[in-house]
Amino acid sequence: MTSKQVWNNARLATLAGDQPWGWVEQGALVTEGEHIVWVGEASQLPAGLEVEAEHDLQGAVVTPGLIDCHTHLVYGGQRAREFELRLHGASYEEIARSGGGIRSSVSSTRAASEEHLFAMALLRAESLKAEGVTTLEIKSGYGLSLEDEAKCLRVARRLGEEADVSVLKTYLGAHAVPPEFQGRQGDYVEAVCAWMPELKRQGLVDAVDAFCEGIGFTPAETRRVFETARGLGLNVKLHAEQLSDQGGTQLACEFAALSCDHLEHLSPAGIAAMKASGTVAVLLPGAYYFLRDTMLPPVAALREAGVPMAVSTDHNPGTSPTLSLLLMLNMACTLFRLTPEEALRGVTVNAAKALGLADRGQLRAGLRADFCVWAVDHPNELSYYFGRNPLLRRVRGGIESP
Ligand code: NIG
Ligand code: FE
């Protein structure tokens, strides 16, 4: 008995090959178990194929499953009050320096039970999934003690086990200095490094991130975190050049970072470093929008240099409380001037690259059978609408969500 399934009468945006969108006008997919085993023109489907099920997609557009490659999905509380304060003129940095910002989410996260954090994160994950997300990265960084970072990373792992979404766990201990280390930032960085082997041993870390910024960690402190990570064989990524140019990108590229994220203040030297190390630029239009930023990331120069660009929600309670990756496609185009095809590549093939995943992000034989079926005539509509969800069907690992 075969477990093969055919998904026929599809218009495929494979994002593979040289055609724009990797387009196949009259296409079909064959899946077997968790994987795609064949993709192409329906007329070329192998003869005598024995299948368990045949799905007629009635000419709908199919894309790879969406990948949200930068989120802070696990936290307690919310920060709507800070939004109000910013509307009254306070800046994000001022709020952070006066003890609010990330540190306010740290107190609510520490106070929350693991069960409550899981319930809240599950609700958020369901919103992302409802728009076609099949893979999700989740960072820690609101616990900031060994125990609380482990608690948040366990919640992320449990989502990956129970919520029908693949989860990559990123350790972001170097997100802010917690109150008990106030005035001892160097000691805190040593603690972040000291906790890393234990978190890794517990299977809670797929990659390591840091917030390199005037209100975050210096390049020297970031280097210390990255040396520790690489020493443990872990990949790194960086919140880089969001509010100022710290040269964090060049530093991250020395460590072959998978991605540098935000990048509003990225310099030409940073772009050259990314090109040389094959690092992905993760663009976060939700944070740019919500902070009412005016400094645009250098998208034209990144494009010119051939640096792969990804797009993500950066879902977090302080700078990007959005749960719509489709809205980020629209904003990546309207605010950052990506093309709709670049935006879609940004949440599929390049988002996979930003997570170091070679097994997804395109519709190609051998890759995971993670894909979305959309009620649109053309994939450019995924960037065109905002506030509309045209998802018809979501398939992850060959299994359709209920
Ligand atoms: O990606 N920049 C640092 N980290 C988050 C914001 C975290 C927060 O304000 O809670 C970001 O924008
Ligand atoms: Fe972030």
pLDDT in tens, 150-172: 999 999 999 999 999 999 999 99
Beta strands 61-64 and 53-56, pairing class: unpaired
Rounded-to-5 percentages of helix, strand, coil across the chain: 40, 25, 40
Residue whose pair of structure tokens reads 């990331």 in the numeric block? 297
Residues 95 and 13 in one domain: no
**φ, ψ of residue 368 in degrees (nearest 5):** -60, 145
Q: At what angle do helices 146-162 and 114-130 cross, to 10 degrees?
A: 40
239 lines ligand 1 (CB under 6 A): yes
Q: For residue 99, what pLDDT is reported?
A: 85
Query: Dmax over Cα atoms in the chain, in whole Å?
Result: 71
CATH number for the domain harbouring residue 142: 3.20.20.140
CATH number for the domain harbouring residue 19: 2.30.40.10
Average pLDDT, integer, range 208-212: 98
- Asked if residue 33 lies in contact with residue 3, where contact means CB atoms within 8 angstroms, the answer is yes
Residues 375 and 322 in one domain: no
Q: Which 8-state DSSP code applies to residue 217? A: B
SS3 101: coil
- Asked if residue 339 lies in contact with residue 333, where contact means CB atoms within 8 angstroms, the answer is yes
Tell me the pLDDT tens digit for each residue of 212-232: 999 999 999 999 999 999 999
DSSP 357-375: --S-SS--TTSB--EEEES
Which residue from 217, 239, 315 has its CB within 8 A of the most atoms of ligand 1, so it is best to mutate?
239
Q: For residue 332, what pLDDT is reported?
A: 98
Residues 169 and 39 in one domain: no
SS3 51: coil
- Measured distance CA(232)–CA(228) in Å, rounded: 6
363 lines ligand 1 (CB under 6 A): no
Using 50, 70 and 90 to split pLDDT, how confident is the model at 402? confident
Residue 87 burial by Cβ neighbours in a 10 Å radius (0-12, 13-18, 19+): exposed
| Dihedral angle of Cα 69, 246, 308, 396, to the nearest 10 degrees | 0
What's the gap in Å between 72 CA and the centre of ligand 1?
A: 8
What's the gap in Å between 241 CA and the centre of ligand 2?
A: 12
Residues 9 and 131 in one domain: no
Tell me the pLDDT tens digit for each residue of 373-389: 999 999 999 999 999 99
Our measurement of the distance from residue 187's CA atom to the centroid of its chain's CA atoms, rounded to an integer in Å, reads 30
Residue whose pair of structure tokens reads 């728009």 in the numeric block? 131
SS3 26: strand
Rounded mean pLDDT of the chain? 97
277 lines ligand 1 (CB under 6 A): no
Q: Which protein residues have their CB within 5 A of the ion that is ligand 2?
A: 314
Alpha helices in 35-90 (DSSP H): 80-87
Residues 59 and 156 in one domain: no
Q: For residue 172, what pLDDT is reported?
A: 98
Residues 190 and 212 in one domain: yes
248 lines ligand 1 (CB under 6 A): no
Q: In terms of pTM, does the model score above 0.85?
A: yes
- Measured distance CA(158)–CA(155) in Å, rounded: 5
Which residues constitute the domain of residue 57? 4-64+362-400
Taking 90 as the threshold, does the pLDDT of residue 203 lie above it? yes
Taking 70 as the threshold, does the pLDDT of residue 356 lie above it? yes
Which residue from 102, 139, 259 has its CB within 8 A of the most atoms of ligand 1, so it is best to mutate?
102
Residues 9 and 89 in one domain: no
Residues 71 and 56 in one domain: no
Residues 225 and 374 in one domain: no
Residues 83 and 178 in one domain: yes
What's the gap in Å between 101 CA and the centre of ligand 1?
A: 8
- Asked if residue 12 lies in contact with residue 363, where contact means CB atoms within 8 angstroms, the answer is yes
Using 50, 70 and 90 to split pLDDT, how confident is the model at 3? confident
Taking 80 as the threshold, does the pLDDT of residue 391 lie above it? yes
SS3 34: coil
Tell me which residue has its CA closest to atom 1 in ligand 1. 314
Residues 115 and 51 in one domain: no
SS3 338: coil
Q: How many separate domains does the chain show?
A: 2
Tell me the pLDDT tens digit for each residue of 188-197: 999 999 999 9
Closest ligand to 170 CA?
2
Closest ligand to 142 CA?
1
Taking 80 as the threshold, does the pLDDT of residue 1 lie above it? no
Taking 60 as the threshold, does the pLDDT of residue 396 lie above it? yes
SS3 384: helix
Residues 70 and 57 in one domain: no
Tell me which residue has its CA closest to atom 11 in ligand 1. 319
